[in-house]
Structure formats: structure tokens, C-alpha cells
């Protein structure tokens, strides 16, 4: 069964580096991705769709933002873009068809963070997530938590939940867990029985800005072993920006790829010391 994303759920990520071929080599080596160009032969641009275990997980495109972009599924790009401007944001790139793959627009929130809207056509979104080498989560780093909550709540219906001990929040889309249970993850409620209420509905996160940072969306990839992945990335030319970040649930590091795009690698660890690593 294809994985589908209801309106309001982040569904896809892509990178627009200065050198797409170099980026493909880096991420292919780091995560085991293979690539197919979604653009017809002879076209001046490229859009390299990355696959893992035969499933699309991300893409690398033509030079643009230089950063990882997060896409949110919508059923009407024009309508949501209009709500963005009404809520005080802006439309950076107007709605446009991307061949049969879907329809896209780029918006910015009140803090200037870019986010893409996606009405799927043939490209439904990432078909493998939360597995080593695949996308896990996107988090907005913002200076104004209240404004971010109001803006994204108006656009997508997201509701914030504070994270104990963390200066940030999880955004929930009520009903998303029901969608997962009815489609690709029928055991989600049982598997998350010990999780906080509403955890199955979590779709994105919010975090404060570090000093000197610009507001942005940041992506996280799952890895089997954080330390091995960091060492491999550094050998491939990346920079370890954060050093190890260990929490009850994860072992993480923030990396910057050789062309300057930041991302996080995250190894799941069980809070139960008798359960072993994830």
C-alpha cells in the first residue's frame, strides 16, 4: 500500500545545493541512497529522486535555497497560500505545476522561514520514513513561538504540545494517528500505548533559535548508529556542528554537509535500559 499524507502533514523533503551531483555522492555514500532523475533526458535541469530499499525518500534538485526544504501536503495550494498571506506571511514562489508529480508553492511565515506546499499528483511523498537512512522529522527553529503556533495552526490545523524539559513543542494534527491506523500502521495505538496522549498525531516540531541563527525548517534523518554516521559524514567532508546530543530517546548530532546544508542524524534509543538500543 502506498503511503499517503492527509492535508496538513509534512510529506516530502528536497535539497537545492550548488552542485547536485556532489550532493548525491555525499548522501548516497552516507545513507545508502540510489538516485533516478525525474526530469526527462536532455532537459537543462535535474531532479534526482533518492530511493532507499526501493522506496523514494527525498530528492536533490537544481541550485536554489542551498538548504533542505520541507513540504506539507495540501488539497488546494492557492487557498493555503492565500491563508499564509492573510496570516501575515508571504508567498515566495507562486503556485506552479511540477509536471504530473504535483503542484507546489513556497511560503514564508512571519519569522521568514520558508516552507513548501504540495498538492500531490504522481509523487505522493516519502514512501519510507523513520528507518535508518530515511527522513524522520522536520522542526521549525523560530524566535516567536506564539506567532509560529498561530500561523501554522491557521494554515494546517496544527496544535502545539509542550515537551517536558525542552524549550519547544510538538505540533499535532488531530486525526493523523487515525489515518495511520487505517492505512499503513494498524498497530500504532498498541505500539504507542505508553506514549503521551496524542503522540500518534504529531507531525512536526518547534524549537527556539540559537544566537545568530535565521528562522528555518530543519530536517532529521534516522541512523542505526549516531557515532558511526558522524564519523562517516566527516570522512566525506561534512562538519560536526554540535557534537553528541543525548536524550532519553535519541542520540543525535547536527551536521553540515560539504556544501553548507545542515541536518541532524538521530539514533533511536529506548528509555528502558533493559530493552537495548533502537
Q: Which residue has the cell 566527516?
A: 234
DSSP-derived letter for residue 153 is H
**Integer Cα distance of 186 and 123 in angstroms:** 23
Write down how long the chain is.
278
Q: Does the pLDDT value for residue 278 go beyond 70? A: no
Structure confidence by residue, pLDDT tens digits, 48-98 = 999 999 999 999 998 888 999 999 999 999 999 999 999 999 999 999 999
Q: Phi, psi at residue 89, to the nearest 5°?
A: -85, -160
Domains of the chain: total: 1
Provide CB contacts within 8 A for 85, sequence distance 6+: 91
With H, G, I as helix, E, B as strand and everything else as coil, classify residue 21.
helix
Determine the structural domain holding residue 67 and report its residue range: 10-268
Q: Does the pLDDT value for residue 277 go beyond 90? A: no
Q: Does the pLDDT value for residue 192 go beyond 90? A: no
Q: Does the pLDDT value for residue 209 go beyond 50? A: yes
**Integer Cα distance of 251 and 248 in angstroms:** 8
Tell me if 49 is assigned to some domain.
Answer: yes
Tell me if 264 is assigned to some domain.
Answer: yes
Tell me if 2 is assigned to some domain.
Answer: no
The pLDDT assigned to 276 comes to 35
Q: Which three cell numbers stand for residue 93?
A: 514562489
Question: What would the DSSP string read from start to end of 186-249?
Answer: TTHHHHTTTSPTTGGGEEEEEEEPPTTPPPEEEEEEE-S-HHHHHHHHHHTT-EESS--EE-SS
Structure confidence by residue, pLDDT tens digits, 112-170 = 999 999 999 999 999 999 999 999 999 999 999 999 999 999 999 999 998 776 789 99
Q: Does the pLDDT value for residue 203 go beyond 70? A: yes
Tell me if 222 is assigned to some domain.
Answer: yes
DSSP-derived letter for residue 274 is T
Question: What would the DSSP string read from start to end of 50-68?
Answer: EEETTEEEEEE-SSSSSSE
Whichever domain contains 261, its CATH number is 3.10.180.10
**Integer Cα distance of 68 and 47 in angstroms:** 14
DSSP-derived letter for residue 277 is B
Tell me if 166 is assigned to some domain.
Answer: yes
Q: What's the whole-model pTM score? A: 0.95
Amino acid at each position: 500500500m502506498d503511503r499517503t499524507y492527509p492535508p496538513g502533514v509534512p510529506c516530502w523533503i528536497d535539497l537545492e545545493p550548488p552542485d547536485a551531483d556532489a550532493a548525491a555522492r555525499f548522501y548516497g555514500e552516507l545513507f545508502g541512497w540510489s538516485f533516478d532523475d525525474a526530469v526527462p533526458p536532455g532537459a537543462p535541469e535535474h531532479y534526482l529522486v533518492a530511493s532507499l530499499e526501493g522506496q523514494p525518500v527525498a530528492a536533490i534538485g537544481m541550485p536554489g535555497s542551498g538548504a533542505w526544504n520541507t513540504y506539507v501536503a495540501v488539497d488546494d495550494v492557492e487557498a493555503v497560500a492565500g491563508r499564509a498571506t492573510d496570516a501575515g506571511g508571504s508567498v515566495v514562489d507562486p503556485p506552479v505545476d511540477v509536471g504530473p508529480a504535483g503542484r507546489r508553492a513556497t511560503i514564508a511565515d512571519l519569522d521568514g522561514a520558508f516552507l513548501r506546499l504540495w498538492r500531490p499528483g504522481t509523487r505522493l511523498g516519502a514512501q519510507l520514513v523513520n528507518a535508518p537512512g530515511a527522513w524522520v522529522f522536520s522542526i521549525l527553529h523560530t524566535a516567536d513561538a506564539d506567532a509560529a503556533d498561530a500561523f501554522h495552526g491557521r494554515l494546517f490545523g496544527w496544535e502545539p504540545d509542550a515537551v517536558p524539559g525542552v524549550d519547544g513543542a510538538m505540533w499535532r494534527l488531530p486525526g493523523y494517528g487515525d489515518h495511520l491506523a487505517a492505512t499503513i500502521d494498524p498497530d500504532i495505538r498498541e505500539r504507542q500505548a505508553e506514549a503521551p496522549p496524542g503522540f500518534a498525531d504529531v507531525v512536526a516540531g518547534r524549537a527556539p533559535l540559537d544566537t545568530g541563527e535565521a528562522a528555518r525548517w530543519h530536517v532529521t534523518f534516522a541512523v542505526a548508529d549516531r557515532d558511526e554516521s558522524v564519523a562517516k559524514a566527516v570522512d566525506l567532508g561534512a562538519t560536526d556542528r554540535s557534537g553528541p546530543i543525548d536524550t532519553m530517546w535519541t542520540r543525535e548530532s547536527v551536521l553540515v554537509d560539504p556544501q553548507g546544508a545542515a541536518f541532524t542524524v538521530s539514533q533511536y534509543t529506548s528509555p528502558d535500559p533493559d530493552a537495548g538500543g533502537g
